[in-house]
Amino acid sequence: MTFSPDLFGLKETKKITTEIDVVNLNKSFGKRKVLDNVSFQVKKGGFLSIFGPNGAGKTTLIKILSTLVAPTSGKVLVSGISLDDDPTLIRKKIGLISHSPLLYPDLNAYENLKFYGTLYQVPHLEKRINFMLDKVELSHRRYDLVRTFSKGMQQRLAIARVLLHQPAILFLDEPHSGLDPHAVDILDGLINDIRGDHTFVMITHSLEKGIALADVVMILENGKIIFYQEKEHLDSDKFRKIYIQTVKGES
């Protein structure tokens, strides 16, 4: 059973408000299909939570959206820009929070942010770095090497790194896994702060968090969308049943 987003009439409003538009996306590694004819949209300011068992193609999907992996076929528009046209322009508008903080251990917090800020050509970089360090409560450790940071502090700095260039679209790949409660609070706080004018796509295994934050939930299995629903109309019992089935099928 496949769900097409068209059923929910999202396409009519697409012109004005669609931030991410994926049409008939396929990705195969050799003969193996990792993503099989995936189509969906995310509205500007929307929050899509993607669930699914391991190997369902969630991470590949995020990697395609964030220009790290090229699709085999299909159309992908991020912020109205096609993936083939100008990936560099897309990269300016997106941020990715994943399990690894992507920080250099032998640079201090400030140098790490300064490095990424220069790559992104962030205007008023110094001010912006100070602001972000305040936000993640690391100002007092700004000249300490990242090597000396705890995992939670590294994750907080990673959040600062991702938000430094004010991306309009945020991809979160299991952002809560491996975070200490303090970092979870800061992350959730930041997400709530910037909701509305930012668009989110999150992969998660946590049903509570995923549903709480989302406007739209989606389940991927074997590269296909097997469930897609807006939260307002979400039939949570049915959703849970399908989710548990897919995860069980994994083992």
Partner 1 sequence: MSSLRQIAAILKKDIISELRTKEMLTSMFLFVMLTMVIFNYAFGADRNNLTPFGGGMLWITFLFTAILGLNRSFVHEKDEGCLEGLLLAPVDRPVIYLGKMTGNLIFLSVIEIVTLPIFTVFFISHNYFPQIGWFIIALILSNLGISATGTLLATISINTKTRDMMLPILFLPIIIPLLIGAVVSTGQIMAGTKNFESVYSSLKFLGVYDIIFLLISYGLYDFVLGE
Partner 2 sequence: MKQRMGLVFGIIAGILLLAVFYGAFMVTPMIVTPKAPDGVFSQKMFYFHVPIALTSFVASAIGAIAAILFLVKKERKYDFISYSSVQLALLFGFLVEWTGIIWTRMEWGAWWAWEPRLTTYLIFMLVYAGYFVLRSSVSDENARARYCAVYAIIAAINTPLSFFSIRLIPAVHPVVFTTSGASMETSMLVTFLIGMAGMTCLFISLLITRTKTESLKEEVDYLKNIIGG
User: Which CB, 118 or 245, lies closer to partner 1?
Assistant: 118
* Minimum distance of partner 2 from residue 23's CB (angstroms): 19
Task: State residue 119 phi and psi, 5-degree precision.
Answer: -60, -40
C-alpha span between 186 and 175 (Å, rounded): 12
Beta bridge partners of 220: 225
* Minimum distance of partner 1 from residue 198's CB (angstroms): 17
- The partner in contact with residue 170, picked from partner 2, partner 1, none with C-beta cut-offs of 5 to 8 angstroms by kind, is none
* Cβ–Cβ < 8 Å for 93, 168: yes
C-alpha span between 40 and 249 (Å, rounded): 24
Residue 15 identity (one-letter amino acid): K
- Is there binding between residue 103 and partner 1 (CB under 8 A)? yes
Q: Which of 21, 59, 78, 91 binds partner 1 (CB under 8 A)?
A: 91
- The partner in contact with residue 32, picked from partner 2, partner 1, none with C-beta cut-offs of 5 to 8 angstroms by kind, is partner 2
Q: Which of 36, 111, 215, 230 binds partner 1 (CB under 8 A)?
A: 111
Beta bridge partners of 229: 217
- The partner in contact with residue 122, picked from partner 1, partner 2, none with C-beta cut-offs of 5 to 8 angstroms by kind, is none
Nearest CA among 193, 235, 199 for reference residue 217: 235
* Minimum distance of partner 1 from residue 91's CB (angstroms): 4
Residues 6 or more apart in contact with residue 142 via CB below 8 angstroms: 108, 109, 110, 133
Q: Could you tell me if residue 231 is left (phi over 0), alpha (psi between -120 and 50 degrees) or otherwise beta?
A: alpha
Query: Would you tell me how many other CB atoms lie within 10 Å of the CB of residue 94?
Result: 21
Q: Which of 106, 197, 208, 232 binds partner 1 (CB under 8 A)?
A: 106
- Is there binding between residue 66 and partner 1 (CB under 8 A)? yes
C-alpha span between 12 and 199 (Å, rounded): 19
Q: Which residues bind partner 2 (CB under 8 A)?
A: 29-32, 70, 72
Q: Which of 47, 51, 110, 120 binds partner 1 (CB under 8 A)?
A: 120
Q: Which of 17, 33, 75, 115 binds partner 1 (CB under 8 A)?
A: 115
* Minimum distance of partner 1 from residue 145's CB (angstroms): 8
Please give the residue ranges that form the binding site for partner 1 (CB under 8 A). Answer: 66-70, 88-89, 91-92, 94-96, 98, 100-107, 111, 115-116, 118-121, 145, 161
